[in-house]
Amino acid sequence: MEQAKPWYLSRTIWASLVAVAASLAAMLGIAVDDADAGALADRLAQAVAALAAIVAILGRIFARSRIE
């Protein structure tokens, strides 16, 4: 691995967070199967990537200095 990325763009992190949430849900009696957890992790990763892109665009729009 030569390229770095922020932790919040990692699919592994999001899948792990969903696994923790699914385990907690199971402890509370809410059934979540693996397919639902996988789909949720993918959707969360996509949503975070989209949000990061929006923040980057807004950051450039509201920047006080120009890019050279």
pLDDT at 4 exceeding the cut of 80 = yes
Per-residue model confidence as pLDDT tens digits over 15-64: 888 888 888 888 888 877 777 778 888 888 888 888 888 988 888 888 88
Question: Binning pLDDT at 50, 70 and 90, where does residue 68 land?
Answer: low
pTM above 0.75, yes or no: no
3-state SS string for the chain = CCCCCCHHHCHHHHHHHHHHHHHHHHHCCCCCCHHHHHHHHHHHHHHHHHHHHHHHHHHHHCCCCCCC
pLDDT at 1 exceeding the cut of 70 = no
